[in-house]
């Protein structure tokens, strides 16, 4: 009776299942992170630290200013990559 081979096979299968589960979770997390990263916000803070770094993570000018005035020494600017949402089409006027 060879119990060692059976034990090794079960251990190998459990390890493969664990690795597969971890890989699936990692792919899901990366997909969720890339979805959030693609969101474009309308306002950016430009850091005044000689690097010219932009942080475009602000939904409103007020939110940007609050962060910039909190000691970061930045200014706020419209995000050049942000496209305003399309305006609804004007309703057709009826002639009488």
* pLDDT at position 2: 56
**Residues 31-47: tens digit of each pLDDT:** 665 555 578 999 999 98
Residues 1 and 32 in one domain: yes
- The pTM is what? 0.48
Identify the band that residue 12 occupies on the pLDDT scale cut at 50, 70 and 90: confident
Q: Are residues 33 and 10 in the same domain?
A: yes
- 3-state DSSP of the chain: CCHHHHHHHHHHHHHHHHHHHHHHHHHHHHHHHHHHHCCCCCEEEEECCCCCCEEEEECCHHHHHHHHHHHHCEEEEECCCCCCCCCCCCCCCCCC
How many independent structural domains does the chain possess? 2
Domain span at residue 75 reads 40-80
- pLDDT tens digits for 47-79? 888 888 999 999 999 999 998 887 767 899 999
Query: Both 47 and 35 in a single domain?
Result: no
pLDDT value, residue 77: 94
Q: Is residue 23 part of a domain?
A: yes
């Amino acid at each position: 009776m060879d119990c060692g081979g059976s034990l090794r096979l079960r251990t190998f299968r459990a390890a493969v299942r664990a690795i597969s589960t971890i890989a699936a979770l990692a792919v899901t997390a990366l997909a969720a992170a890339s979805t959030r990263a693609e969101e474009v916000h309308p306002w950016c803070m430009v850091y005044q630290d000689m690097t010219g770094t932009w942080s475009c993570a602000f939904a409103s000018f007020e939110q940007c200013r609050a962060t910039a005035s909190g000691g970061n020494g930045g200014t706020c600017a419209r995000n050049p990559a942000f496209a305003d949402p399309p305006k609804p089409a004007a309703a057709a006027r009826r002639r009488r």
